[in-house]
Copies of this chain bind each other. A is one copy, B any other.
Amino acid sequence: MGKRVNLLMFSGEYDKALAALILANSSRELDAEVTIFFAFWGLMLIRDPERMSDEDKSLYEKMFAAATPKGPEELPLSRMNFAGMGKKMLMKMMEEEGAPTLADFLKGARKKQVRFYACKLSVEVMGFHPEELLPEVEIVDAKTYLKDAFESDIQLFI
């Protein structure tokens, strides 16, 4: 089809990340090119739990790194207390249906060569070192994101 999809992943929540990755992977299966630009809380999804380090971080950056989710399975729900249903309940229901987890979908996106961009300003403000992110992540500014978005057929802010 020659189509392009561009997702701006702002949220750092399990259910929204699931939606983003299902859209990304399904787009790849339709032969569309896909870019995800991770900004703000979205960066939580692409931290590499094996490669975290506190070196050269300010006190706030250390506190922040310690207090935030490390990798996909630690992300909270966007509606943690929505109707009293917690993340565990959703996970159980997904398991009953044999649905893959967020980590599986992330693995799928990496294998399918979804392009991963990380927002430079967000990375700097949060004090993340580039090597703490998944290795294929490119750190780019908002203009690089915009240029990709201008050439895309679908753009979503998630």
Contact = CB atoms under 8 A, between A and B. Distances in A.
Given A19-B10, A83-B69, A125 B30 contact: no
Interface residues of A, number: 61
A79 B69 CA distance: 13
Contacts of A96: 58, 60-61
B99 A125 contact: yes
Contact of A125 (B19, B40, B90, B149): B90
A60 B146 contact: no
Contacts of A8: 19, 156
Interface of A: 1, 3, 5, 8, 10-12, 15-16, 19, 22-23, 26-27, 29-30, 32, 39-41, 58, 60-61, 63-64, 67-69, 76, 78-79, 82-85, 89-90, 92-94, 96-97, 99, 121, 124-127, 141-143, 146-147, 149-150, 153-158
22 contacts: A1-B150, A3-B150, A5-B146, A8-B156, A10-B19, A19-B157, A29-B143, A30-B147, A58-B96, A60-B92, A60-B93, A60-B96, A61-B93, A63-B85, A63-B89, A67-B84, A68-B82, A69-B83, A76-B82, A97-B121, A99-B121, A155-B155
